[in-house]
Amino acid sequence: MAGKFAVIGLGNFGFHVAKTLFEEGNDVMALDKDEDMIQKIRPYCSQAIIGDATQKDLLLSLGLEQMDANIVSMGGNANAATLITLYLREMKVKKIVVKTTNEDHGKILRNVGATDIIFPEKDMAIKVARNLAAPDILDYLPMSGDYIIAEIAPISELVGKSLAQLGLRAKYNVNVIGIKELIPENFILVPNADFVIKDSDVLLVIGARKDINKIKQRK
């Protein structure tokens, strides 16, 4: 089911969030005071509006309380991001996602009403560092605590064996929740225990980071 989203601020981050949401089939409203950015985003959103988001009357006129989430991305303008977040909270919108690069500003944003804080530079730096340290882990999604969902590249020690033979759950407390077959392209959700790993398969697993890292040491 398609969602409804508003992206406020169309810097590099906001633009790509709006574009991706729209390409995924969602209803997207984009707002920025830069006319050039509005023209650029028009093909990738449902509605593009030129305006100053720090003006509360403008925000009130847009029906933002009907959105599934409002994403605020004001670049380095911390004051604007804080003010917009405060207005959105006063409007009782469902979800306020705000981008910032500063931990202290993140705390302020939470205090004035942000439900989610995004630190794109910090998050990307951590992701790059972890991918460099563990190149067999192609991608990951952090969960609560130290748990992650990760994509693991084919490891020679796993190839040619069934999931039952590997016993990843018993040995490492790691569960295989999906297999991405590259040849031919296919995805298997919760594969059977008799599924045999091929060298072109990618494993989607869930578990503690330290346990997942142990699997790649089998090479």
Catalogue all structural domains in the chain, each as residue range(s) with its CATH number.
4-119 (3.40.50.720), 130-218 (3.30.70.1450)
* 78-90 vs 103-112: helix crossing angle, rounded to 10: 20
What is the per-residue pLDDT across 87-134, written as a single tens digit (0 to 9) for each?
Answer: 999 999 989 999 987 888 889 989 998 998 888 766 656 555 555 555
Q: What is the pLDDT of residue 132?
A: 55
Q: Which residues contact 160 (CB under 8 A, 6 or more apart)?
A: 196, 197
The Cα-based distances of 200 to 161, 179, 207 in angstroms read 13, 10, 22
Q: Give me the chain's average pLDDT, please.
A: 85
Question: What SS3 state is found at 146?
Answer: coil
**Amino acid identity, position 199:** D
Q: What is the pLDDT of residue 129?
A: 59
What is the per-residue pLDDT across 34-93, written as a single tens digit (0 to 9) for each?
Answer: 999 999 999 999 999 999 999 999 999 999 999 999 999 998 788 999 999 999 999 999
